[in-house]
Structure 1
């Protein structure tokens, strides 16, 4: 599979970058934001985003590589992920897989127990923006380390 030459218009790129920054900033926990971005990117098979967010999580946020390696099996990883992280990961999967149905009320309620209303809005923002980035990169066949713009 080769990269496509479709260029991401600067206005679209700038809006997406601003959306990403706002969603992450309002969450206040860059480590959690990266975990959610990695999990959605795993589901969406976005190699570009997986590569980038893995590097950010480990190099910038000091994330434990073992946690990233076990992220796709977070339910079975015991106490490796906090209850707060688990609630956010469950919500990430539900929102990312909307084609399989709606977000279950129980999933949303569980997340709402761990996040304030504002934080929850930012969790949803992080999930939404990474799903958008995944779709942009996958549809354009951007490979890990490749040019995104």
Structure 2
């Protein structure tokens, strides 16, 4: 286990508050379970243990099942997710792995399931999830073990 480098919220409180505000604005109107799935998925890709733990707990509180959380790493092969969730997860993968780009097919499928304002918030949520992951991985924020 590695030692935490800094506590970001105390080192950059204005940036931390701005990130919280952006995160809250992005979630407005999105299904809370879908939002947690998206954030867990981004954290899995980015290998952010802190965010995986944080959003897994929040997903359970929002009513998500253990089985769906466990299968999230292989969501493409799983039958547990709706078409809408699959579109959001595909967009999450594409935006998180940006060097591969967001294909027209992935974007079209997402826009088929989400009206433009909701799609914009989903993209913003993916953006904030990735930003939090990068902050926490860089700072080596320790996951809560309880």
> What TM bracket, shorter-length normalisation?
over 0.9
Unaligned runs of 5+ in 1: none
Question: Which residue does the alignment assign to 1:25?
Answer: 28
Does 2:78 align with 1:84?
no
Query: 1:62-120 CA deviation, whole Å, 9 max, x = no partner?
Result: 11111000001111112x10000000000000000012x21101000000000000010
Alignment equivalent of 1:53, drawn from 22, 47, 55? 55
How far apart, CA to CA, are the structure 2 residues paired with 1:75 and 1:109? Answer: 17
Query: TM-score w.r.t. structure 2 length?
Result: 0.94
SS at match of 1:70: helix
Unaligned runs of 5+ in 2: none
How far apart, CA to CA, are the structure 2 residues paired with 1:127 and 1:7? Answer: 20
Contact map agreement 2:8 2:135 (CA 8 A) in 1: no
SS at match of 2:141: coil
Does 2:28 align with 1:37?
no
**How far off is 1:145 after superposition?**
1.8
Question: Which residue does the alignment assign to 1:104?
Answer: 103
Paired residue total: 142
Query: TM-score w.r.t. structure 1 length?
Result: 0.92
Contact map agreement 2:7 2:141 (CA 8 A) in 1: no
Moved >6 Å (runs of 4+) = none
How far apart, CA to CA, are the structure 2 residues paired with 1:53 and 1:71? Answer: 12
